[in-house]
Amino acid sequence: MNFWDFCAPFYDLAEKNNGQAYRKMLGLVNGMVPKGAAVLEAAAGTGSISIAVADKASSILCTDISENMLNMARKKVKKRAIDNIKVDNRSIYDLGEPDSSFDIVIAGQVLHLIDEPKRAAAELRRIAKSMVILPMSFTKNLRGRARFSIGLYKLFGFAPRIELAADEFAGFLAGLGFDGCEIIQVPGRIPMAVAVYKIQ
């Protein structure tokens, strides 16, 4: 069992630990999704972002490689009786959809965790028609409870390939081909940001 399958039952609790910033991030992403948009979320975890934009989207494909995470997402979608979210196991490297097939593509808190972020970034751009939205939490240079929380996650197997501070985010994204992103900072115990890349 990998880290993400293991932590699926506790993932939402970890997000609540940074609740004020996380809720602000969800609101920002919701506001960026046009009414009636076709949305794909990659590396969706338990589906919180997909659920947060369900009132705006015409349809949402909520994807992840962790079946345990997806099962949590399915339970949440069913509990809320949301009928426009499809949950499916897909790799961020091969989402299995035609070019430009989704108005909005969302990939939160993932590109710094994986071995081939450039490959994943290219796949996200390939299937996006108008916009890629990239929420991120910053785990570098934390203090106090935030530093303790991240250290605890690492004890259980959380292993980011790259750790970022807020002022490094734009350069990281540019290196992946996401040049010229608009980045909105979200203060919090663990600081966050939402980057928006518009397809030319």
User: Per-residue pLDDT for 154 more than 90?
Assistant: no
pLDDT at 98: 97
Mean pLDDT of the chain: 92
CA triple 83-111-177, angle to 5 deg: 105
CA–chain centroid gap for 128, Å, is: 15
How many angstroms separate the CA atoms of 98 and 109, rounded? 24
The per-residue pLDDT for 70 is 97
pLDDT at position 186 over 80: yes
Q: Strand 57-64: give its sheet, edge to edge.
A: 85-89, 57-64, 37-42, 102-107, 128-137, 192-198, 182-186
116-125 pLDDT per residue, tens: 999 999 999 9
Q: Band of the pLDDT at 197, cuts 50, 70, 90? A: very high
pLDDT for residue 17 is more than 90: no
DSSP string computed for 52-114: HTTTTEEEEEEEES-HHHHHHHHHHHHHTT--SEEEEE-BTTB----TT-EEEEEE-S-TTTS
pLDDT score recorded for residue 79? 97
Tens of pLDDT, residues 41-50 = 999 999 999 9
Average pLDDT of span 165-176: 97
Per-residue pLDDT, 60: 98
Span 54-105, pLDDT tens digits: 999 999 999 999 999 999 999 999 999 999 999 999 999 999 999 999 999 9
Instruction: Please report the domains of the chain, with CATH numbers, ordered by start residue.
Output: 3-198 (3.40.50.150)
Tokens representing 145 are 């409870």
Q: Is the pLDDT of residue 126 over 70?
A: yes
pLDDT exceeds cutoff 80 at 3: no
Closest CA to 198 of 135, 134, 130, 136: 130
Answer whether residue 195 shows pLDDT above 70. Answer: yes
How high is the pLDDT of residue 157?
Answer: 72
Looking at residue 36, what is its pLDDT? 98
pLDDT bracket for residue 141 (50, 70, 90): confident
Backbone angles phi, psi at 42, to 5 degrees: -100, 145
pLDDT of residue 156: 67
